[in-house]
Each structure stands twice: as C-alpha cells, then as structure tokens.
Amino acid sequence: MARQEYENYTAEDFAVWKILFDRQIQNLPGRATEAYLEGLERIRFTAERIPNFAETNPLLRSQTGWELTVVPGIVADDLFFKLLADKKFPATTWLRKMKQLDYLEEPDMFHDVFAHVPLLTNQAFVDFLQALSKIALRHIEDAWAIELLSRIYWFTIEFGLIREGGELRIYGAGILSSAGETLYSLSDKPEHRPYEVARILDTPYRKDTFQEIYYIVDSYEALYASIPLIEKELAKRIGAAAPTAVSQAAAN
C-alpha cells in the first residue's frame, strides 16, 4: 500500500481543508449523529491541520481496532471489501483544488477522512461495516450480489439517517461531506423511510444528484443486528436472474 506523504501538502491543500472543515462543521451540530461529533473529538480533527494518518491511526486503534490505509482513489470491489473485513478503512490522501470546492466526481480526502473516519470510533457501526464486507467477500464473484450489497452500503454507510432523541440525524458520509445535502436530507423534500433491508435491496440508487430517498435506523446496534436478515434476503435474490443493467458498485 502507498503511504500518506504529509510533507507534500501545499498551502492550497491546507487552505482547502480549512474552508471545507469550517463550512461543514457549522452545519453539523443538531444535524449530525452524536456518535460522529464524539468521534470527531476523539480523533482530534481540526480546521487548522490536515489529518496525519500516523497520528490518527493510533487513536482509532485504541477505540475500535480500526486504522486507515492509503489508496490512490476508488479501488476494485475485492480489495475494498478485503480491507474493510480486516478493519482497514481505505482512504485517499489527495484534496480537491480550490476551484473544485463544491463538486467532485471522485471522492477525495475530505469525504474519505472528514466524513467517514469519526464514526470508525463507534463499535456497533464498525461491526456492521466489517460484517457487511465479509458477506461481500463471500459473493465477490457474483456481480449481482455485489450490486445488491452496494445498495445496503449506499443507503447506510454513505447516505444513512438515524433517529436520536426523536429527531433525525445524519450518519452517512456522503451527506456529512456535503454542505448542500446535509440541509436537504433533513428537509421535507426527500422521502424518509424506516430502515428495511428487503426494501433497500430492491432500491437502485443514483450518484449524480441528491438522494430522493433516505432510510432511517433506530440505532447502530439495530443496524448491526440486521446482518442476518441481509444474508437471508440476499440469498433470496441471488438465486434469481440478475437484471440486464445494474448501477455501479458503491464508491469508497
């Protein structure tokens, strides 16, 4: 695996990180899940410094046994799920340029690290992520099975909502890294559905727009407890003929 070449970050990189951090951190109180906000403190992310994996990994390992592994960008499904099954979260180390502040086609470090990593301090959440990845590895040669599992990943890890204290909160990294979708996801514009494994498996997703549907879990423990049901419902579907066109597997 590659390494984070921290000494190569430029003044623009630090400026971009600070702008993105300051802009998004203002949106998160009262909107992000408490587990994310607590995790942010535990791993000591600040606006002033791009996270240094050499400092973050010992903190993560002390919390849940997980760590960050450097990847160049989106990686193949087999490597992606293998890393997650081994408690290694694949993360890029490059940052978008100033002219790309509001839109990127491929996830950069702000998405991978700012949005994903704080929740890696939550044990039930990472237990779910690891278990889902182990299921994927058992079906890695079956493109249709991976597509179905990518829907679970998409509507939970990337775009999930959770109910806390009777209020909707965000835990999906795809939302947490987007100032616009943070506000949109909790508004009355999209559809909010309770977390239902069977329904998610039957729901294709799009990457090129805000989501039209968000699924709500009651707790991270309930999310992890759904793993046997995911296996059961997946088994029902992979025996049937796969559709001729499926969406791309989940992004990192």
Confirm whether 252 is domain-assigned. no
d(CA 177, CA 214): 16
pLDDT value, residue 240: 57
Residue 250 lies in a domain: no
| Residues counted in the chain | 252
Given this model, what pLDDT does residue 242 score? 47
Contact criterion met (CB below 8 Å) for 53 and 68:
yes
pLDDT at 1 over 70: no
Q: Which of 134-143, 220-229, 232-241 has the lowest mean pLDDT?
A: 232-241
Going by the annotation, the residues of the binding site for Fe cation are 111, 116, 158
**Residue with more model confidence, 84 or 243:** 84
End-to-end CA distance of the chain: 16
For residue 73, the model assigns a pLDDT of 80
Q: How confident is the model at residue 102 (pLDDT cuts 50, 70, 90)?
A: confident
Per-residue model confidence (pLDDT) at position 220: 98
The predicted structure's pLDDT at residue 127: 98
Asked, for residue 247, whether it belongs to a domain, the answer is no
83 located within any domain: yes
Domain that holds residue 42: 6-238
Q: Measured between alpha carbons, how far is residue 34 from residues 41, 163, 170 in Å? A: 11, 11, 9
d(CA 220, CA 169): 12
| Contacts of 224 by beta carbon, 8 Å cutoff, 6+ apart | 124, 125, 127, 128, 131
Tell me whether residue 122 is in a domain: yes
Residue 146 domain-assigned (yes or no): yes
Read off the tokens for 209. 């727009």
Distance CA 36, CA 115 (A): 9
In a domain, 244, yes or no: no
Annotated binding site: 111, 116, 158
Q: Is residue 200 part of a domain?
A: yes
Q: Please say whether the beta carbons of 173 and 157 come within 8 A.
A: yes
pLDDT at 248: 37
Predicted local confidence at residue 247, as pLDDT: 38
Q: What is the mean pLDDT of residues 72-95?
A: 93
Strands 191-194 and 167-170, sheet pairing: unpaired
Q: What is the CATH number of the domain that holds 145?
A: 1.10.800.10
Q: List, for residues 177-198, the tens digit of each pLDDT value.
A: 998 999 999 999 999 999 999 9
Average pLDDT over residues 160-164: 98
Total structural domains within the chain: 1
DSSP state of 8: G
Query: Quick count: other Cβ atoms within 10 Å of Cβ 166?
Result: 5
What letter does residue 70 receive in the DSSP assignment?
E
* Residue 213 dihedral angles phi and psi, to the nearest 5°: -135, 135
SS3 87: coil
Give residues with Cβ within 8 angstroms of 144, minimum separation 6.
237, 238, 242, 243, 246
Average confidence (pLDDT) over 200-207:
93
